Structure 1
Amino acid sequence: MPFRSGFVALVGRPNVGKSTLVNACMGEKVAITSPVAQTTRKRLRAVVNTPNSQLVIIDTPGLHKPKDSLGKELNQAALAELADADVVAFLVDATKPVGTGDAWVARHVDGSEADFKLLVITKADKATPEQVTSQLAAARELAHFDDELVISAREGFNVDAFVKLVSAHLPEGPKWFPDDMDTDATPEDLVAEFVREKLFLNLRQEVPHSIGVICDDIEYAKDGHASVTATVLVEREGQKGIVVGKGGSMIKLVGTEARRDVERLLGCKVYLDLSVRVQPQWRRDANEIRRLGYSAED
């Protein structure tokens, strides 16, 4: 049996379950998730190895109507992945009616030169069979797909089938990444993302889209511990107060929750120091967007 390898781009509207599917395929957490739309800001490549294939799954930002420079960069980053992918998986949420946003994304999928285009209906565990059937019928009308699959990444339903199906349609070729490489993200990238996830989960709709996080430093001590510092960016002084919380309660909670993921990532005990800084209108500042790693060029 020939060895197959290649790049699989997951695309779709915000909050359709792209990052959850990546984590399910990996069998561990590498991509952050939250109920807040547009949680994913950085393209992330996750490497899934099977005996006969290597899938490089690309988790892209959700495609949406941008309201600022950050939004435009996120869209550009997601669309750029369509140009180089061997397989494009178009994800549609089973629980939400197919709309104009899905149609817009589907047009880009239809125009891509990927060898295999897969329609994926997600969140089957939250939908009725009638909803799933309806979504399949509606999504089929948006573009030409070579195949389709219904999944529940949270329940593990058809995740193995997704990996098997996609693997079969990758080109023959060598491994792109070594076996011990799970993702192309740096530890600093992942630390910043884990902190941002906890902020999203605890703040929900209050200020998440105004938040950016950068990991400033990871320093390993001789005793096996690691000291990690990260800065949370907000756009207004009032937002800083919300992120810090009364008596520092919110930032302490976020630090405690994020530290668990960071310790798992680094494989050691971690001292995590978080600070909050006001950077007015950073989402409209190309330099800040680039510094945070959210630029389409990164």
Structure 2
Amino acid sequence: MTDESMNDDTGAVEDGDAVEDGGAADESVAVDEGGAVVAARMPEHPRCGFVALVGAPNAGKSTLLNTLIGSKVSIVSPKVQTTRVRVLGIAVEGDAQMIFVDTPGIFRPKRRLDRAMVAAAWQGAEDADFIGVLFDASRRGVDEDTRGIVARLKEQGRQAILILNKIDLVRRDTLLALTEELNRDGVFTDTFMISAQSGDGVADLRRIIAGRLPEGPWLFPEDQISDMPMRLIAAEITREKLFVQLHQELPYAATVETESWEEFGNGSVKISQVVYVQRESQKAIVLGKGGSRIKRIGQAARTELEAMLEQRVHLMLFVKVREDWENDPERFAAWGLDFKA
């Protein structure tokens, strides 16, 4: 395949239901004068700790994580339970390095995958130095999932901070009533009212968390914002675009895996990914008429990947049927989930 054909922004359906979507973006690489790796800055009195963000599905954890970090490290979707894997986002505030853990939403699981995600969320909370419980303040009353989270923290003798999100959608008297209700069990030391979407109140939240982390050396370089491999991040970005395009047509029946990643001498990268669905009828939905839907998904994913990687991206998407992929131990291992949870 020539580079010219790879740059065709319209994309093309290939054998095996693949869609190539190419585009152009300048690659910018910076090196120091000697070409050596420079050691990360370490403050005189460093602080460092893990901060778990937990909450019911769709409370806004991923949006908050991205706002706290100042860069996108976790995918966001209006659909509940979008996050399947533990996502680390790393930020520096003064002398403190905050390692935020975005966990899957906590709810009453029904499927094996649900159980594994909820187990991963609780493991993230148990291992953390600091816990923030998010609640969507625009909901009508406190839901059972959130009540369960508060009850379990109380049983464990753990304290946390309460983060009321989406306050721009709620009247002040409602916020005060929610604060009073959620603080009755004595689990929360502080209550923060924020809008993760607009960033309102997030700077204060960052500052308070940074000041309460334990003293200790930083665990990551100063400029690192996540520990996720780029192959996994790229797959998650495409899965987000899949959610956006499909809305309610294919809820949770699809997953994305990065099969290959090839860097070229001209600074571009070719990424091949597979979208797995469970039935042939779902495959037709993902592809769309004449491949139109998968083409739009690929274009949206490529645009975001090029901005993130700062290089030209050739994205190849294949759609394949793999029945019962939700019960495949290899998928769980790739996501860092316990198949036996």
Q: Is TM (by shorter chain) over 0.5?
A: yes
Matched, 1:204 2:247: yes
Superposed CA deviations along residues 198-231 of structure 1, whole A, max 9, x for unmatched, are 0111111211311111111111111111100111
Q: Conserved in 2, the CA contact under 8 Å of 1:103 and 1:142?
A: no
How many residue pairs were aligned? 295
- The alignment partner of 1:40 has SS state of coil
**Alignment partner, residue 106 of structure 1:** 150
TM-score (norm 2): 0.83
Matched, 1:6 2:49: yes
Report the more deviating stretch, 250-259 or 116-125. Answer: 116-125
Structure 2: which amino acid aligns with 1:71?
D
What residue ranges of structure 2 are gaps of 5+ in the alignment? 1-43
Residue 52 of structure 1, aligned match among 89, 95, 113: 95
Q: Which whole-Å CA distance do the structure 1 matches of 2:191 and 2:338 have between them?
A: 29
Q: Conserved in 2, the CA contact under 8 Å of 1:213 and 1:231?
A: yes
Structure 1: which amino acid aligns with 2:273?
A
Q: Conserved in 2, the CA contact under 8 Å of 1:90 and 1:109?
A: no
Structure 1 residue runs of 4+, over 6 Å off?
none
**Alignment partner, residue 93 of structure 1:** 136
**Alignment partner, residue 178 of structure 1:** 221
Q: Conserved in 1, the CA contact under 8 Å of 2:332 and 2:338?
A: no
Q: Which whole-Å CA distance do the structure 1 matches of 2:236 and 2:319 have between them?
A: 15
**Alignment partner, residue 80 of structure 2:** 37
Residue 134 of structure 1: CA displacement?
2.4
Superposed CA deviations along residues 70-110 of structure 1, whole A, max 9, x for unmatched, are 11110111010122111000111001120211111112333
- The alignment partner of 1:34 has SS state of coil
Q: Which whole-Å CA distance do the structure 1 matches of 2:157 and 2:186 have between them?
A: 13
Report the more deviating stretch, 124-133 or 162-171. Answer: 124-133
What residue ranges of structure 1 are gaps of 5+ in the alignment? none
Q: Conserved in 1, the CA contact under 8 Å of 2:59 and 2:134?
A: yes
**Alignment partner, residue 134 of structure 1:** 177
Structure with a larger share of its residues in helix: 1
**Alignment partner, residue 276 of structure 1:** 319
Q: Which whole-Å CA distance do the structure 2 matches of 1:284 and 1:129 have between them?
A: 45
Higher RCO, Cα 8 Å, sep 6+: 2
**Alignment partner, residue 337 of structure 2:** 295
Q: Which whole-Å CA distance do the structure 2 matches of 1:143 and 1:66 have between them?
A: 26
- The alignment partner of 2:188 has SS state of coil
Report the more deviating stretch, 16-25 or 121-130. Answer: 121-130
Q: Conserved in 2, the CA contact under 8 Å of 1:245 and 1:251?
A: yes
Identity %: 35
TM-score (norm 1): 0.95
